[in-house]
Structure 1
Amino acid sequence: MRDGYRFEFGALDEPDAPKAQALKPLEEAAEVYGAWQDCDDMRLSPIMTARREYRQNLIDECMDVVQAVVSLLDAEGFTQQDVDAAIERCNERNRERGRL
């Protein structure tokens, strides 16, 4: 298991309207799935430059999801302490399910 990743993301300066803000992670997640499909289709390609391009697109789309989530948390007024506590609860749930 990996130790995880460390991210430093600030929230967007001008949040969207509340409903749009809440929908943005879903929209971005759909784009991740599309990028993953493209990447998966190229997984066995002998053309390394194409594989690198699709992998870069996939990670870029993933970071768009993270940015959208960070911005939603900020728009809703959550603090770092709230986020830290939620991460620990998430980790505990995953430990209980045998995922960690």
Structure 2
Amino acid sequence: MRDGYLLNLRTFHEVRDDKAQALKPLEEAAEVLGAWQDCDDMRLSPIMTARREYRQSLIDECMDVVQAVVSLLDAEGFTQEDVDAAIERCNERNRERGHL
């Protein structure tokens, strides 16, 4: 089990404080579900190259979500300090729920 991942993603070149920007993480998350379903369907496949391709697609879609979220944070003007504080609050909530 990992304690987390170190992620260093850039924001989109153009970010906007608008509904389209806010919807982008949701759109990308839907693509994660589709990629996960494809990956899950191939989980028992004896064809290793197909399994690797589906796993790569899944992680690529996950990173698209993270990048869309980072871009939304930027569009809203959040600082690294804001993000660090939010991460701490998130970790605390999840510790209380028994997830961490």
TM-score w.r.t. length of structure 1: 0.97
Q: Does residue 35 in structure 1 map to residue 35 in structure 2?
A: yes
CA distance in 2, matches of 1:29, 1:9: 17
Q: Which residue does the alignment assign to 2:55?
A: 55
Q: Percent identity?
A: 84
Letter in 2 for 1:20: A
CA distance in 1, matches of 2:16, 2:81: 24
Q: Which residue does the alignment assign to 1:74?
A: 74
Query: Shift of residue 11 of structure 1?
Result: 1.0
CA distance in 1, matches of 2:16, 2:48: 38
Q: Deviations over 1:14-69 (max 9, x none)?
A: 12561100000000000000000000000000000000000000000000000000
Moved over 3 A (4+): none
Q: Any unmatched runs of 5+ in structure 1? A: none
- Root-mean-square deviation (CA, aligned residues, Å) is 0.9
Letter in 2 for 1:13: H
Query: Shift of residue 9 of structure 1?
Result: 1.0
CA distance in 2, matches of 1:48, 1:10: 32
TM-score w.r.t. length of structure 2: 0.97
Q: Which residue does the alignment assign to 2:10?
A: 10
* Alignment CA distance shift 1:16-1:75 (3 Å): closer
Q: Any unmatched runs of 5+ in structure 2? A: none
CA distance in 2, matches of 1:39, 1:7: 23
Query: Shift of residue 3 of structure 1?
Result: 1.1
Q: Which residue does the alignment assign to 1:23?
A: 23
* Alignment CA distance shift 1:84-1:27 (3 Å): same
